[in-house]
Amino acid sequence: MRDRAFRLRTMKQIGPDCVRALMRRMGGRRRGRAAIAGLRALRLRCLPAWALLMLAAPALSQTSDRASTSGSEVRTEASPVEEQSRAMRVTPVAVDVAGATSMDGQIQGTSGAQMGSSSAYAQLAFMAPIGGHLGVRFAVDGATSFYSFSGDPLLVPGGGIPWDQVRSSSVGLTAMYVWERKWALIVGGNVASAGARGASFSDSLSGGGTVGFTYTFPSGLLLGALVTAQSRLSGGLAVLPFPLVDWVLPVDQGRWRLSAGGVRVGPGRAGGVSLEYSPVRTLSVSAALTFVGLGREFRLSSTGPVVHGAGRDTAFPLILGVEWRPLKPLTVSAYGGVSLLRSITVLDGSGNIVSERDVTPSPVFGGKMSLGF
């Protein structure tokens, strides 16, 4: 831009000067050969100016062409399924690694027995668009939970520790169809395995599915509902409906966000409701009420006192968390809080409750590292 301005100023100065000189020489009293000689002298003196004008013209034309091309550059519009994925904060490729610990809580109805647990979780997911309206997501995950009991929890006949380690994994496929850039239909299915140490793998398998929808308003508010169903290891079907909400609140320059369904900061495989505040783009803090283990069962050891039995461990952690995004693909989060309404249950092969115990509130903390591409 500076070169272009310099050339314009130079031409504005040189052009009129030469023209005025030409008029003076042609309009004076000189005639005949004197006038012709003067014209030749003027032409020689102004030759550098005309050369500069000839050289500058193509450069100005190129600059104008570049500006015109830049101004008319066409940007590719995101497809409906890509817009919906961004609204739901789902990336084409995601890798999650998480860990959590629940400190010892007292098992009620016993003589001072306590229980604590810690877990490790990992997930790998891929999402591929098919056309502009359909997206398919494939996910595989696995988790291992380690339990520590002190005293007899009085959960199985004859007493003793009902389980010490639980391993679970799942493979799922979810399809999302978007139309009119507003509505989205979600349908999915999965095969899962969950069993305590010593359980038969074939006896630990279950299957399930998910169906739901979302609607995105012009303001960006996303509302919807999801129903998930999973076959119980103890027989029957566990059905869990819950709402889907993603709302950037229209206050404080959009720094507040209300979400329901999945939670970004919290235990693995957890759902819940969270309120998030982002003072800067790379950092956010949140408060969330989550639920863990609802509708989930795991097979007990095949050599245990309850033949073909199953166990449950459910809780509602209330947590405060922080999420840091130092680089575009990397997200690191940590949280801490208290585990509320935790209960542990043993069922027999027919689905009847053998024993159920509540666990007093106890501190819980954990963290997660995610890569999203």
Distance CA 38, CA 27 (A): 11
Going 264 to 268 to 273 to 279, the CA torsion angle's sign is: negative
pLDDT at 31 over 50: no
pLDDT at 37 over 70: no
DSSP 8-state secondary structure symbol assigned to residue 61: H
Q: Does one domain contain both 181 and 301?
A: yes
pLDDT at 55 over 60: no
The residue out of 45, 71, 97 marking a domain boundary is: 71
Task: Identify the residue whose tokens are 């497809």.
Answer: 79
pLDDT of residue 131: 82
pLDDT of residue 76: 62
Q: Which amino acid is at 140?
A: V
In this structure, what token pair is assigned to residue 140?
Answer: 């595989």
Q: Does one domain contain both 190 and 52?
A: no
Q: What pLDDT band is residue 361 in, cutting at 50, 70 and 90?
A: very high
Q: Does one domain contain both 157 and 22?
A: no
Q: Does one domain contain both 28 and 92?
A: no
pTM of the predicted structure, to 2 decimals: 0.75
Q: Does one domain contain both 23 and 110?
A: no
Q: Which residue has the higher pLDDT, 244 or 1?
A: 244
DSSP 8-state secondary structure symbol assigned to residue 78: P
* Other C-beta atoms lying within 10 Å of the C-beta of residue 52: 15
pLDDT of residue 80: 80
Domain that holds residue 128: 80-372
Q: Does one domain contain both 24 and 112?
A: no
Q: What pLDDT band is residue 296 in, cutting at 50, 70 and 90?
A: confident
Distance CA 122, CA 274 (A): 22
Tell me whether residue 287 is exposed, middle or buried, using C-beta atoms within 10 angstroms of its C-beta: 0 to 12, 13 to 18, 19 or more.
Answer: middle
pLDDT of residue 9: 42
**Range with the poorest average pLDDT among 8-17, 96-105, 221-230:** 8-17
pLDDT of residue 56: 40
Q: Are 133 and 80 in contact (CB under 8 A)?
A: yes
Range 315-335 average pLDDT: 95
pLDDT of residue 307: 85
pLDDT at 363 over 90: yes
Buried b (16+ CB within 10 A) or exposed e, 62-78: eeeeeeeeeeeeeeeee
Q: What pLDDT band is residue 304 in, cutting at 50, 70 and 90?
A: confident
The residue out of 38, 71, 104 marking a domain boundary is: 71
Please list the residues that pair with 324 across neighbouring strands: 283, 332
Q: Which residue has the higher pLDDT, 8 or 89?
A: 89
The rounded mean pLDDT for the chain is 82
Q: Which amino acid is at 232?
A: R
Q: Does one domain contain both 133 and 220?
A: yes
Q: Does one domain contain both 164 and 181?
A: yes
Q: What is the count of structural domains for the chain?
A: 2
Q: Does one domain contain both 99 and 155?
A: yes
Q: Does one domain contain both 52 and 168?
A: no
pLDDT at 159 over 60: yes
Q: What is the DSSP string of 316-346?
A: EEEEEEEEE-SSSSEEEEEEEEEEEEEEEEE
Q: Which of 173, 164, 161, 125 is CA-nearest to residue 144?
A: 164
Distance CA 169, CA 206 (A): 11
pLDDT at 120 over 90: yes
Q: Which amino acid is at 327?
A: L
Q: Does one domain contain both 37 and 146?
A: no
Q: What pLDDT band is residue 359 in, cutting at 50, 70 and 90?
A: very high
* Angle, alpha carbons 336-342-344 (nearest 5°): 135
CA 337 to mean position of chain CA atoms: 23
% of the chain with per-residue pLDDT over 70 = 79
pLDDT one-digit tens code per residue, 3-28 = 444 344 444 444 445 445 434 444 44
pLDDT of residue 132: 82
In this structure, what token pair is assigned to residue 188?
Answer: 């999915």
pLDDT one-digit tens code per residue, 162-175 = 999 999 999 999 99
Range 59-63 average pLDDT: 40
pLDDT at 357 over 70: yes
Rg (CA), the chain: 36
Distance CA 101, CA 203 (A): 28
Q: Does one domain contain both 109 and 62?
A: no
The residue out of 71, 94, 114 marking a domain boundary is: 71
CATH number of the domain where residue 245 is located: 2.40.160.60
Distance CA 106, CA 103 (A): 10
DSSP 8-state secondary structure symbol assigned to residue 178: E
Range 25-43 average pLDDT: 43
